[in-house]
Structure 1
């Protein structure tokens, strides 16, 4: 096994869109968790379209180590995350969804799993046996169906590719980011597919705590987003299996 340094710098990315009701509380909760871990860290908030008061509220939080990126027009969650990744200084790069749906204490759990498994990527998973998830039946059915679709199309063993908390080694990002196309709905899946195809196969799941009701005000699980994920997933399959796009030299 490769001997990697036990001293890491963590960059945590928080993509934000229409989160003015919860963002201050959310960021303070995240900061409390980060202050308890042993790693030096930075928080990078990416405001994906200045369409409400989220940016103003972030600027008034005065949280140490907080950096903010913003732009006027909404580009999509995956675009925001990828932009944050490109600005990250850490050798560990994580993102977590804003909106309070995912308990930020999961940050520590994913970091521990990175160490335990000497992993390339750790994926927070609603379907991990140790996860605590309060989730409507309709969303459970959609998640279950999407898992089988992904397994059929790509052969990936990860049971939940879409939960909004993941951590990556920086060297994986450097290889994968230049190949990514998706900017909105299926960016997480595309990243995992490309990383796996490039030989970064040490991808494991970690348990999370998720309460859908806490994020209901800002949840993106609408009919349009569900259709968007489906279309983007099929586009990834086409690029990978028909065009061989992701294996081309860059």
Structure 2
């Protein structure tokens, strides 16, 4: 049996439960999904500061997850639409790593130009920067953010579906795209209901992330760790830095 580690880099156990449920349903019974939650940071990532802290929280929780009495992961999924810490974790993880946004960009681009719909106005420049960094900027036609945050949308799914369906329909028509990404861990499972109101495919970011995480090839990294000696970090993360240093001596 394969093992997928999903890391929620915010502190919301409700979001972690959504990730666990929808990732496991997508992965199927042949995969064991384990979702862990950040030890510190924000309950919802909604700005540059909370995004920066989430990257640290991601690395910290990954390091501690490796020390748990659980099988080593075959793949790692960052359970945030924005992928904080993606490139850093990818450098240190023996298992392949992807995030909800990266996986969604990849899947949506198979249909041609795509748009994004997500909650929280501050996410627009952050997602534009991420798309550019990951090489998906040419295919990204536009980003439509709705005023409620992902956490607020998740707290009232019935009202959220109507708002998101309208936003996805407007995005598809405005930019004439081949697909729309409905981005956000808190929006997991809503794409199916939204799809009935939109003429192009609506990509569920959690489903896309799970599929992409399990489809990735091995990284070629032979050890979990980093080539740096940390100071003032949590014990698990500090140990991975020290371990890498010793291996390179």
Instruction: Judge same fold: TM > 0.5, yes or no.
Output: no
TM-score between both structures, scaled by the size of structure 2? 0.29
Structure in which a larger fraction of residues adopt helix: 2
Q: Give the TM-score, by structure 1 length.
A: 0.29
